[in-house]
A = this chain, B = another copy of it.
Amino acid sequence: MKTKEQSAEALPLNTILDGDCIEVMNSLPAGSVDLIFADPPYNLQLKGELHRPDNSRVDAVDDDWDQFSSFKAYDKFTRAWLKAARRLLKPDGAIWVIGSYHNIFRVGTALQDQGFWILNDVVWRKSNPMPNFRGKRFTNAHETMIWAGRGEASKYTFNYEALKALNEGIQMRSDWVLPICTGHERLKDENGEKAHPTQKPESLLHRVLVGATNPGDVILDPFFGTGTTGAVAKMLGRDFIGIEREAAYRRVAEKRISKVRRFDRAALQVSASKRAEPRVPFGQLVERGMLRPGEELTSMNKRHKAKVRADGTLVGDDVKGSIHQVGAALEGAPSCNGWTYWCFRRDGKTVPIDVLRQQIRSEMTS
């Protein structure tokens, strides 16, 4: 019998697997991966590969048989790899897929049809895109990423505070301005040509992985290419699994990742959410004598008062209950955070009771 630990150990962590991504994914244990990042091909030139049954010439004006057929083939491919990907994800896992208008609508539809739950579409706004030389359309200055949970109920990872910190204290938006991959970062092959036509910038993966994974998470990239996902995962102290069928890309990726150094443990620490902090019952403040039964609390806006009781509940005008319930009732609000709503008096000053909670929490950690 396989135990959980054995399955986990069986994962080929931090390696690049050779082969067709669907077959390889199906050979790995189900429910073992935290995040999938996928940059699937969108320029499958199926027109050339698919042949019309009777070999007749296509009238370009009003015959869309060709494109229809190629979309069908692309959909089949997309649904197959997404199905294999979904099987691999842990119940609370999530997926990111990047694409352009050529393929992203097919991908999004397939994701929704297969039960993934879209969380955001994120636009990568390129600060230095290639111009439209013929002046017949808009400069194609962005690509689209879809972020989706494995299912509607998945408790996906989202490091809200870390992303907010990355954005100078303002909530991170669904449009990201980042340059395309150029200069030293752009990998070259033996001939000095670019090693991969669509190498993604590490900055993009940095933001995805800081925001949607934690250190130690397993990230799978089924279209590994030259390994941007693996390189950034390694820097950030995450584990990766790459799948790539082109030997030339694997070679470049191996070499690249071997040179990457993991950041210090301290540097990987990221601003944490308050939700993760330990819960402190209000009653503990009374038990510890930080507040005394009978003591009067005042609301932040000074409009209401309530008295502390021995069991850690409050009594106000015609209401009693928890600090939250009494606050909500007095304000006529659907809810209320009693910790920040109520204040007590010490040495002539009015202080939020949350200060006392912080005091207890700091004692807990030290």
A interface residues, Cβ below 8 angstroms from B: 49, 51, 55, 57, 60-62, 64, 67-68, 71, 100-102, 104-109, 111-113, 115, 118-123, 125, 127-129, 131-132, 135-142, 144, 146-147, 151-153, 158-163, 165-175, 177-179, 185, 201-203, 206-207, 210, 235-236, 263-264, 266-271, 273, 279, 281-284, 286-289, 292-294, 307-313, 315, 322, 331, 333-336, 363-364, 366
Select which of B121, B163, B287, B310 is within 8 A of A268 by beta carbon.
B310
Q: Is the CB of B322 within 8 A of A139?
A: no
Q: Is the CB of A101 within 8 A of B127?
A: no
Complex Cα gap A236–B309 (Å): 11
Q: Is the CB of B173 within 8 A of A311?
A: no
Query: Considering only CB atoms, which chain B residue lies closest to A185 in the complex?
Result: B289
Complex Cα gap A227–B140 (Å): 29
Complex Cα gap A104–B112 (Å): 12
Q: Is the CB of A113 within 8 A of B71?
A: yes
Query: Considering only CB atoms, which chain B residue lies closest to A282 in the complex?
Result: B168
Expressed in whole angstroms, the minimum distance between the Cβ of A37 and any Cβ of chain B is: 15
Expressed in whole angstroms, the minimum distance between the Cβ of A366 and any Cβ of chain B is: 8
Contacts of A144 in B (CB 8 A): 121, 144
The answer to whether residues A263 and B293 also contact, given A108-B105, A178-B287, A313-B165 and a CB cut-off of 8 A, is yes
Expressed in whole angstroms, the minimum distance between the Cβ of A344 and any Cβ of chain B is: 14
The answer to whether residues A311 and B142 also contact, given A105-B107, A108-B105, A109-B109 and a CB cut-off of 8 A, is no
Complex Cα gap A118–B311 (Å): 25
Provide a sorted-by-A list of 22 A–B residue pairs whose CB atoms are within 8 angstroms.
Answer: A49-B334, A101-B146, A104-B108, A105-B107, A105-B112, A120-B138, A122-B138, A123-B142, A125-B125, A135-B160, A139-B174, A165-B283, A166-B312, A168-B279, A178-B284, A185-B289, A202-B288, A203-B287, A264-B293, A266-B307, A267-B293, A270-B310
Query: Considering only CB atoms, which chain B residue lies closest to A289 in the complex?
Result: B202
The answer to whether residues A179 and B282 also contact, given A151-B62, A166-B311 and a CB cut-off of 8 A, is no
Complex Cα gap A315–B263 (Å): 14
Q: Is the CB of B64 within 8 A of A269?
A: no
Complex Cα gap A307–B265 (Å): 12
Most buried by B among A105, A269, A292: A105
Contacts of A175 in B (CB 8 A): 123, 125, 141-142, 175
